Structure 1
């Protein structure tokens, strides 16, 4: 207990004697000595606040309840790192409803002297129904094509049935279309984790396939190079691998750009070395890749100089203005040699000089871009004020490359660098840049309280989308979390078009591209999902949302019916007509999106109506029913059960699970256990009704094997003064995996939440695999005083089921933001 004794006849205040930081977590009492005949006085003990949290469902919504001890004046509740409510009167509660997906809830109890943070509680809200408020413009739908990806960063369409996805840590996943038209779960086809540096915003950030991919299988990747050590200087590369029909062959690695690495590249006096891409810090790295119509490879490289100091002290950002340093630019190179190509503004000789490779310069972070005819549409991520879209003509005249002004300009205005006209200023070079006439952005929009991080998308061409958005440019913002449109006349200023998706639905897009089916697809790095933007004047249409299945009726009657065939006599001959029956593609009556697989008992024709009765030869008999759709499931072991009066088939992810008679006689033969990864899975059910009196069918599934339990505990809720943060993971698997086996498949992930006002955007920071405990060193370099660290852990059991912990928040001493705000 901390105490303070005042001598008689004196007075004082606590801040002058005992700073609150020195008594955090202690009981407090004030003693007053006897004075002028008065007895001594001792105040009641002031107990430090303590808080725990539970969240309970309440008829479709949720109530968060904080339980406190000690002196508490108010409780602030945070959902996903953002304040959701304050309660100043006990019992401390928050009533709320949240969108589908995973959410974390945390409470801060505020006392007279200090405040404390509870442990977080994880809440997983199921996917909403079709007619729920989706946050998507009328007629549009954001469908999940496939999930289960880990920090996906980019994607490339490698054919009508193949999409390759890069993951931040160095993995490449293939997602293939199956015979039924559904997209399979991700399958790893290349592992570059030992080569890729993936801290903060670094990682495997770009992927593209060669225009001749069908013949040569060439696939291009961009990443920061893991050179070992703890320094802040590294190098970057664009590399090529060959697809062999099944995977990307590791032995086929070829460096296209960035053959010079290590100190020979990133030492200050070596950054101009030909074929060197230096990196200072861990952000604004090499990123997007694309091909122009001539087959040249376009490479986006950020200024590679984001370190934890204000812009005025980041002098390396001026490399964006130096054509001999391959950062802050878009390069155009020959994909075979990595040299610049004729037609580049400063091309000379054999194109091996760095300046020969440069198409456009003066960019901060051209994270995503797209070729649109003879132009390049670039989304350049801004610093403090604006996000911008730049339109670059691919046919550049000889001379200095097109220059968009960074770091001397942001948007069309000067960046905060002080008096650049002073010859003694380290930024004096910006005086001539600002005076020489740089390129203006075609469109710019201001940051909000969530900051900004633009993801350039694609033109919405063709007739699939409605006239109101046709030929507009679709872009997203990863921080502000939206999908919007803008008109972009080449050579003119852009004007905003209709919004497409707001933060409840956009999913934090980091890549937007035209999918293999002609719809616009996008990648959400944190949902770990591929999404597809569709539009239809009809709702729900033929394609049902995730969580729904399309039900259809099929005719099994007629002259070719298997139920009229003659089969050899035998004990099982009565089953032969069913096993030989395959549902025709044609349907009877209307199709409908339904939420369950169920046919209520009937002796009639459930599709028939008074206006369209069943007039077949065997009305009420010889029909089939099909259900097919996609469901999003947690990882684990699922028991699928079918029950029907006759034959049923069940497919999960196009794998045949059941194909037999299914009435109650067969008991356990109708039950099948299937291990599934977390993600979207296709479910197909068929019921065949012959000539039995009654038709009925159902199929259900439930998880019987749970993912491993994962608990993450940090030593404290504050980052130590030296930047250290200790953690420990506890894992347990009800299905029998040992702790040691689970720890081998466990990873701890640290994220930096960068706040701008009340909102934030997330920077993947660091991850550690295969350890029970440890200490990581963190800093708030992305935004001094405006961020915090959020950690979480996940473990995969032997069946492939994944468990994830609730997160832990860790505060910096000067990070008075979000849940860390006292």
Structure 2
């Protein structure tokens, strides 16, 4: 399953696979030999895995390749792989004789030197106390990046115009009290980090620098995010455009600068979301939050934003130059955002039919590249004139259809008649998805966060049934499901409304 890709010069693309392998596309050919295989130390349960890659801008003269992944320490062998784990950022050197393979023994841990088994809270159970990378007295272990659940891990990597390496770090778990670490600048979770790409230290120009370049807060650049899975750096202003994947209702694209607080988990979108005392200052003073530049709800198939990239090439019509492109994993589509002279944005559909897209990036050849984890394909969308965008693809697991670009009319004669040479991507499968309802009787207490995993009520439902009216096709892969998490207030009786979101079933 491909999870991310990075350009390394004009003709080379590195592609990460979820299990820990890095493949190489050189001059359009997918090479048989991988750049590296670190699957022996990657935990790829759920949304975990090898999720981010970037090559040094001066590659191969500066032969560094950077990988972000969820780490499985050797001591975790024999423990439940679904239990808590930690994340790392690894720097590798390419071989001097062949830049398509790594130099053995060149690995350097830039982030997560203390992401070790000793600081994992519960290696057998996810999202349980004690939480990972904490001392137990409210303090955080330096250079330790927790991943309590199977979600929101260390992900996207990008170099800025300033030569710094920017790193996306999610909050590391499903929504619960641990999400509040996104508001703590001494935790590395729920942040964009800005570090020196040579040694992983924080810069003295970072907003929370405390005099120690190795401290957690000295590395923090932007905070208060749930899952900043992908982000882009504006090519002229240096401003970050961050796709922060939402919880139950809202997806966000944030425009943020150094020191910005994006509000999670106290806010989702602009809606108050958590009422812990930690959030009270923000709830009382929302002006301290940098709210999303663009937010959209989980309706009509939308539900997981994939932050994109700015188009910096010369191949597309002038209308698109400098435009921002982003995607949505659930919807399988790409949107264009074109700014006029006054920086007023116009949003429009650009491409559809891309199931499970996980990255959108502008390529050095003037094309737009899109990666799908569902089809196992890296797509290239080129403009070939007469308003025709021609897609092509390179698949890691076989042929697949290409996305359908939908050009938008520009305010000139250069783009006029709509035309496309693509097919709509689709996939089919057997089986069906179901929703299981369970109920408990005699629940007491002030609040129960999760009945299924509660020490008191675990595995003891009074009954269960399948809700046949909510059956849905199972499109890809084996049956998989998760129980709805939320707060119950027994013994209040009444009508409860539940929001249920479905992924792509892959």
Residue 538 in structure 1 maps to residue 386 in structure 2: yes
**SS at structure 2 position matched to 1:403:** coil
Q: Answer whether contact 1:479 1:760 (CA < 8 A) is retained.
A: no
Cα deviation code 1:508-530 (max 9, x no counterpart): 32111122312111101111111
Q: Residues 513, 762 of structure 1: CA spacing in aligned structure 2 closer, same or farther, 3 A cutoff?
A: farther
User: Whole-Å Cα distance in 2 between the matches of residues 287 and 370 of structure 1?
Assistant: 13
Contact 2:313–2:363, Cα closer than 8 Å, also in 1: no
- TM-score under structure 2 length normalisation: 0.72
Separation in structure 2 between the aligned mates of residue 390 and residue 816 of structure 1, nearest angstrom: 25
Task: Provide, for residues 565-587 of structure 1, a one-character-per-residue CA deviation record: whole Å limited to 9, x for no partner.
Answer: xxxxxxxxxxxxxxxxxxxxxxx
- Are residues 468 and 816 of structure 1, via their aligned partners in 2, closer, same or farther at CA, if it must alter by over 3 Å? closer
Pair 1:428-2:285 in alignment: no
CA pair 762-258 structure 1, distance change in 2 beyond 3 A:
farther
Residue 131 of structure 1 corresponds to none
Q: Which residue of 2 aligns with 1:406?
A: 264
Aligned partner of 1:164 in structure 2 is 14
TM-score normalised to the size of structure 1? Answer: 0.45
Query: Does the CA-based 8 Å contact 1:220-1:241 persist in structure 2?
Result: yes
CA distance in 1, matches of 2:215, 2:154: 19
1:174 to 13, 20, 24: 24
Aligned to 1:29: none
Does 1:288 find its partner at 2:156?
yes
Counterpart secondary structure, 1:402: coil
- Please tell me whether the aligned partners of residues 313 and 367 of structure 2 are also in contact (alpha carbons under 8 angstroms): no
Instruction: Check whether the contact 1:153–1:523 (CA below 8 A) recurs between aligned residues.
Output: yes
Equivalence map 1:245-394=2 (5 Å)? 245=98, 246-260=100-114, 261-264=116-119, 266=121, 267-268=130-131, 269-270=134-135, 272-306=140-174, 311=175, 314-372=176-234, 373=236, 374-393=238-257
TM-superposed CA distance for 1:442, in Å, is: 1.1
* 1:523 has 2:371 as partner: yes
Distance 1:816 1:441 in 2: 23
Moved more, 277-286 or 478-487: 478-487
Aligned pairs, number: 408
1:38 corresponds to: none
In 1: Cα distance, 2:178 partner to 2:342 partner: 31
Q: Does residue 200 of structure 1 match 2:49? A: no
Q: How far apart, in 2, do the equivalents of 1:815 and 1:359 lie?
A: 33
Q: CA deviation at 1:337?
A: 1.9
Cα 1:524–1:782, aligned 2, differ >3 Å: closer, same or farther? farther
Query: Is the Cα–Cα contact under 8 Å of residues 361 and 402 in structure 1 kept in the other structure?
Result: yes
1:360-509 mapped onto 2 (5 Å cutoff):
360-372=222-234, 373=236, 374-393=238-257, 396=258, 401-415=259-273, 417=274, 420=275, 427-436=276-285, 437-487=288-338, 495-502=345-352, 505-509=353-357
Q: Distance in 1 between matches of 2:254 and 2:294?
A: 7
C-alpha distance in 1, partners of 2:474/2:284? Answer: 34
Residues 609-648 of structure 1: CA deviation (Å, up to 9, x unaligned): xxxxxxxxxxxxxxxxxxxxx999xx9xxxxxxxxxxxxx
Query: 2:354 and 2:83 mapped to 1: Cα distance?
Result: 34
Partner Cα separation in structure 1 for residue 65 and residue 3 of structure 2: 15
Partner of 1:241: 92
2:430–2:475 contact (8 Å) kept in structure 1: no
- Distance (Å, rounded) in 2 between the aligned partners of 1:506 and 1:499: 13
Matched residues in 1 for 2:338 and 2:43: separation? 37
Indicate the SS of the match to 2:279: helix
TM superposition shift of 1:449: 4.4
1:296 CA drift (Å): 1.1
Partners of 1:201 and 1:207 in 2: CA distance: 16
Where do 1:727-746 residues align within 5 Å?
none
Q: 1:256 to 1:320 in 2, by over 3 A?
A: same
Shift of 1:259: 0.6
CA drift of 1:189 comes to 2.0
Q: For residues 408 and 214 of structure 1, do their structure 2 counterparts lie closer, same or farther at Cα, with a shift above 3 Å needed?
A: same
Structure in which a larger fraction of residues adopt strand:
1
What is the rounded CA distance, in whole Å, between the counterparts of 2:232 and 2:500 in structure 1? 39
Provide Cα deviations, 1:762-807, integer angstroms capped at 9, x if missing partner.
99999xxxxxxxxxxx7514779xxxxxxxxxxxxxxxxxxxxxxx
Measure how far apart 1:216 and its partner are. 2.7
Max radius of gyration: which structure?
Answer: 1
Q: Which has the higher contact order (CA 8 A, sep 6+)?
A: 1
Task: Check the 8 A contact 2:339/2:346 in 1, yes or no.
Answer: no
**Higher deviation after alignment, 507-516 or 364-373:** 507-516
Q: Secondary structure at the match of 1:500?
A: strand
Q: CA deviation at 1:480?
A: 1.4
- In the alignment, what sits opposite 1:780? 482
Q: Specify the SS of the correspondent of 1:318.
A: helix
Change (3 A) 1:349 1:761: farther
2:398 maps to 1:678: yes
* Alpha-carbon contact 1:450-1:759 (below 8 Å) kept: no
**In structure 1, distance between residues paired with 2:303 and 2:324:** 18
Provide the rounded CA distance (Å) in 2 between the counterparts of 1:384 and 1:490.
35
* Counterparts of 1:817 and 1:347, CA distance in 2: 39
Matches of 1:474 and 1:322, distance apart in 2: 31
**Alpha-carbon distance, 1:346 to partner:** 0.9
**Structure 1 unmatched ranges of 5 or more:** 1-150, 421-426, 547-629, 636-676, 681-710, 724-756, 767-777, 785-813
How much does 1:506 deviate? Answer: 2.7
Superposed CA offset, 1:327-365 (max 9, x none): 000000112221211210011223111011100000010
Contact 1:240 1:254 in 2 (8 A): yes
Measured in 2, the distance between the counterparts of 1:491 and 1:265 equals 50
Superposition RMSD in Å: 3.7
Alpha-carbon distance in structure 2 between the residues aligned to 1:325 and 1:761? 38
Distance change >3 Å, CA 783–CA 449, structure 1 → 2:
farther
Q: For residue 265 of structure 1, report the CA deviation from its aligned partner.
A: 5.2
* Alpha-carbon distance in structure 2 between the residues aligned to 1:760 and 1:343: 51
Any idea what SS the aligned residue of 2:202 has?
A: coil
Shift of 1:539: 7.9
